[in-house]
Structure 1
Amino acid sequence: MSPLTLAEVTALPAVVPLLTAARALGLSRNTAYRLVNRGDFPCRVIKAGDTYRVPTLELLVLIGADRATLDAVLGTNAIK
């Protein structure tokens, strides 16, 4: 499966499953879980029960989305 494009990531809901975040970063399932278990996933991971979720905004920042993209996702001039 190919990594998600920036347009696909911006269309995601506010919080996504770990494997969706891994796909956006081009990581395999095994690598994603290994990084989470070591505490080394490259952005914040929220554990909810027995599942992991990642904030989409943090993915966008991590992959280097520009200011205009972030503003479009959050609303114009949301980030100061």
Structure 2
Amino acid sequence: MKAEKSITDVMTTADVEALPAVVDLMTAAQALRIGRTTAYALAREGEFPCPVLRVGGEYRVPTAGLLRVLGLDPSIG
């Protein structure tokens, strides 16, 4: 059984590019190297580095916005 990644694990470019269309806040935070407390604070304040959707009681991050922030958007350049 594969061990689950923690927030301190580094995501590679391939990991990020393989993400589904929408990810949870902690996955986006991991890609951006932002800790849990900071990620939730930024999301609550509307200051997260990329667009965040509030779905019920949870935050979701569209991967397209995350890729743009990381400079990995294939439509740019």
**Is it true that 1:50 corresponds to 2:57 in the alignment?**
yes
Residue number in structure 2 paired with 1:74: none
Same amino acid, percent of matched pairs: 52
CA RMSD of aligned residues (A): 1.5
Residue in structure 2 matched with residue 63 of structure 1 by the alignment: 70
- SS of the counterpart of 1:54? strand
- Give the TM-score normalised by structure 2: 0.82
Instruction: Name the CA distance, whole Å, in 2 between partners of 1:3 and 1:32.
Output: 16
Alignment TM-score, normalising by the size of structure 1: 0.79
4+ residue runs of structure 1 moved beyond 6 angstroms?
none
- Displacement after TM superposition at 1:57 (Å): 1.1
**Code of the aligned partner of 1:45:** V
Q: Which runs of 5+ in 1 are unaligned?
A: 72-78
Deviation at 1:13, TM superposition (A): 0.3
Structure 2 unaligned residues grouped into runs of 5+? 1-7
The structure carrying a bigger helix percent of its residues is 1
- Count of residues in Structure 1 that have an aligned counterpart in Structure 2: 69
Residue 36 of structure 2 corresponds to 29
